[in-house]
Amino acid sequence: MEYSYPKLFIGGRWQEPSTTDVLAVHSAATEEQIGQVPASAPADVDNAVAAAGAALVDPAWAGISQAARADLIERFADAVDKRADERATIVSRQNGMPIAIAGMAEGPMPALLLRYFAGLIRDASLEERRVAFPGPGTTVVRKEPVGVVAAIAPWNFPSVLAAFKIAPALAAGCSVVLKPSPETVLDSFLLADAAIEAGLPAGVLNVVTGGPDIGKYLVAHEGVQKVAFTGSTAAGRQIGEVCGRLLRPVTLELGGKSAALILDDADITSTVTGLATASLLNSGQTCYMSTRILAPKGRYQDFVDAITAMVGSLPVGDPLDPSTFIGPLVSEKQRDRVLSYVDAGRNEGATLTTGGGRPSGLDRGWFVEPTVFANTDNTTTIAREEIFGPVLTVMPYDGEAEAISMANDSEFGLGGTVWTADPSRGLDVARQIQTGSFGVNSYALDFGSPFGGVKSSGLGRELGPEGLAAYYSLKSIFLAE
Cα gap 190→192, rounded to integer Å: 5
User: DSSP secondary structure string, 315-336?
Assistant: -BS-TTSTT-SB---S-HHHHH
Q: How far is the CB of 132 from ligand NAD (least distance, A)?
A: 39
Residue closer to ligand NAD (CB basis): 333 or 475: 333
What's the per-residue H, E or C state across 173-242? Answer: CCEEEEECCHHHCHHHHHHHHHHHHHCCCCCCEEECCCCHHHHHHHHCCCCCCEEEEECCHHHHHHHHHH
CA separation, residue 360 to residues 316, 317, 328, 355 (Å): 10, 11, 13, 11
DSSP element (H, E) containing 144: strand 138-145
**Residue whose CB is less far from ligand NAD, 175 or 230:** 230
Helix axes 212-219, 233-246, angle to 10 degrees: 20
Q: How far is the CB of 443 from ligand NAD (least distance, A)?
A: 13
Interior/surface letters 360-391, b for 16+ CB within 10 angstroms, e for the rest: eebeebbbbbbbbbbbbebebbbbeebbbbbb
- Integer-rounded Cα Rg, in Å, for the chain is 23
Pick the closer one to ligand NAD by CB: 201 or 215: 215
Minimum CB separation of residue 277 from ligand NAD in Å reads: 16
Give buried/exposed letters for 100-132 (b at 16+ CB in 10 A, else e).
bbbbebbbbbbbbbbbbbbebbbeeeeeeeeee
> Which residue number is nearest to ligand NAD in terms of Cβ?
215
Q: Which residues bind ligand NAD (CB under 6 A)?
A: 152-156, 161, 179, 181, 211-212, 215-216, 219, 230-232, 235, 238-239, 253-256, 287, 386, 388, 414, 453, 458
Q: Which is nearer to ligand NAD, 77 or 330 (CB)?
A: 330
CB of residue 433 to ligand NAD, shortest distance in Å: 16
d(CA 180, CA 94): 13
Closer residue to ligand NAD in complex, CB, 380/437: 437
Q: How far is the CB of 471 from ligand NAD (least distance, A)?
A: 17
DSSP β-bridge partners for residue 260: 293, 417
Given a contact cutoff of 8 angstroms between Cβ atoms, the answer to whether 416 and 435 are in contact is yes
Catalytic residue (choose from 106, 183, 253, 386): 253
Our CB check for ligand NAD shows the closer of 160 and 170 to be 160
3-state SS, residue 480: coil
155 close to 181: Cβ distance less than 8 angstroms: yes
- Give CA–CA dist 82/434, Å, rounded: 40
Q: What CA–CA distance (Å, rounded) separates 353 from 309? A: 9
* Smaller CB separation from ligand NAD, 306 or 459: 459
Shortest CB 179 distance to ligand NAD, Å: 6
Specify whether 253 is catalytic.
yes
CB of 202 to ligand NAD, least distance (A): 24
Q: Which residues are catalytic?
A: 253
